[in-house]
Amino acid sequence: MRNSVACAVLAAASLLGAAPQLARQIDLTRYFPSSAAEAASRAKTIGDAEAFARSPAPTTATAWLRWLQTHDELLRRLERHDIYVYLRAEEDDEDTSDAETDDRLGDLEGRINDRLASAARELGADRLARLSATFLLRPYRYFLNASLARGAHLLGPAEQRTAQVVAQPVLDVAAGGYKALRKSAGSVASDRNAYAALLVSIVAARNGVARLRGFSGAPEASYFDKSISPASVDRALAAIRGSVAYARFRHVEDLAPRPAFSPPLLSLDRAIGLILDAEQRMGPQYAGAYAALLDPHDARVEICEGPRCDRTGFSVGFAGAESGVYYSGYNGSVNSARALAHECGHAVHRQFMNRNQPIAAYNQGPTFMFESFAIFNELLFLDHLYATAPDTKQRAYYLDAFLNDATFQIFGSAEETDLESAIYRGVVGGTVRTAGDLESLTTEVLGRYDPVGATAPGADLYWAKDRLFFADPLYDVSYLYAGLLSVRYFADFEANPKAFSTRYVALLRNGFTDTPQALERKFLGIDLANEAALVAGAAAFIEARTATLLQLYSNGTSGR
């Protein structure tokens, strides 16, 4: 999730009574002194990257080390350019030139990674193991093994041509059609057939490319790319479907009415102050990273307010390129401040890696781990609002917001993951072709998690309302695992804040030097292979807090 949020007002300034007159914009000169300098450097970088993608594979450990170091330097340069053009494109959604450049840079980064993967495949597992065991290549061992695994699913030249000629145009047209639908005056219900046609075409094209790569379908390919196994997803979904925690929270108002409270709007400087306050419990190293990010004098946060700003939020940053946050559409609501806290969590994680992980390739890793760190920061923020609320009604409001976030990350993401994979299977099997087919399937899948909610008006159109189904297909599974992890992080943090913070920051600094399973076990003692235990732990935590919420509801309405 690359996005940057420009937080231009320092919380301390409000205490002095005067907000500093600073631009709420990321300072792009930290990446390149001018657009002309960026363009000239980009041309050289593109040429060097294309040469690397055509270069022969090395044969000795020394040559491999030089090749890997060249790849690492190219990653740094490509990502720096990508940050620059991506930010400009997001500041102006009519800037097609920078958007196309962003796509080209991303494709080129994929090509140099593919070149390494194909070289690892050519080398073979035995020779690669011997090479990576040498002193020179030992730091790259995991990266080489991961490249070997990717190499098994690379498209050959003929398959690449097929994907480019047949599948990619379909996906490009569908992406444009979806943006046009979102901007149209019509409702989702009135445009349901158009949404269905777009989604089915996306699913069919992605399934086709996945089969070319040697997978049964796009879900299996996507899970592989995210370092998740289909069997793990099945186990997690089964455990979540068997939990009653979601239904108990969703229907807690049936037992006691919610106290009336509407929170005041939060000015930007107030939201930043609350985010900074929420980090204090995690200790000075973690809190200090947020203070540095949100210092307006460093211009690392951008709040985009113009009519052509892309309405989104993301973080940027990579090895050698300072992190930042972009956010458009800040409106002062608690949810908007929560989203800002989420993106700040991404940026702080990126900066910890930037400063402490010397191998650029290890600044990249599974999306669900990235998301787990950002969602944990959401929970810290919402819990801070709950813990510092001055009365019962406000405490109930903010605890409800906390639980809404935690349960949606796990249970809502499970519904979305289950539904999306069912849609992909249905398109392959010929049972999903029309809007009516999608609506019937949606009601069936959502009913496994919340039978009452599945029959609510408009619930059958959930497939058309989930933006990620169209804009970033099969990403929702990342939020499912991130939700399970973030709730586990929070429970461990509450049990022993100091010990957890030390281990957690060490994980953020480390980067992705091993499998997610190995990293979570080593740094935080979490067993990702035991999905049932993760779900049970999250459910117990949610049920305990739901009981507290019910008590607050009872106290709030009784006047106590």
Q: Is the pLDDT of residue 293 over 70?
A: yes
Cα–Cα distance between 151 and 212 in angstroms, integer? 13
Interval 79-91: pLDDT, tens: 999 999 999 999 9
Q: Is the pLDDT of residue 8 over 50?
A: no
pLDDT given for residue 471 in this prediction: 92
In this structure, are strands 321-328 and 301-304 parallel, antiparallel, or unpaired?
parallel
Cα–Cα distance between 365 and 182 in angstroms, integer? 31
Instruction: Using DSSP, state whether 526 is helix, strand or coil.
Output: coil
Interval 417-445: pLDDT, tens: 999 999 999 999 999 999 999 999 999 99
What integer best gives the mean pLDDT of the chain? Answer: 93
Q: Is the pLDDT of residue 13 over 60?
A: no
Q: What is the pTM assigned to this prediction?
A: 0.93
pLDDT band at 254, cuts 50/70/90? Answer: confident
| 213 within 8 A of 202, measured Cβ to Cβ | no
Cα–Cα distance between 5 and 33 in angstroms, integer? 21
Cα–Cα distance between 505 and 352 in angstroms, integer? 8
Interval 51-68: pLDDT, tens: 999 999 999 999 999 999
pLDDT given for residue 558 in this prediction: 54
- One-letter amino acid of 305: E
| 366 within 8 A of 356, measured Cβ to Cβ | no
Cα–Cα distance between 483 and 411 in angstroms, integer? 9
- One-letter amino acid of 15: L
How far CA 59 is from CA of 67, 77, 122, 327, in Å, comes to: 10, 26, 11, 46
Q: Is the pLDDT of residue 468 over 90?
A: yes
CB atoms within 10 A of CB 345: 30
Residue 380 exposed, middle or buried by CB count within 10 Å (0-12, 13-18, 19+): buried
pLDDT band at 10, cuts 50/70/90? Answer: very low
pLDDT given for residue 3 in this prediction: 39
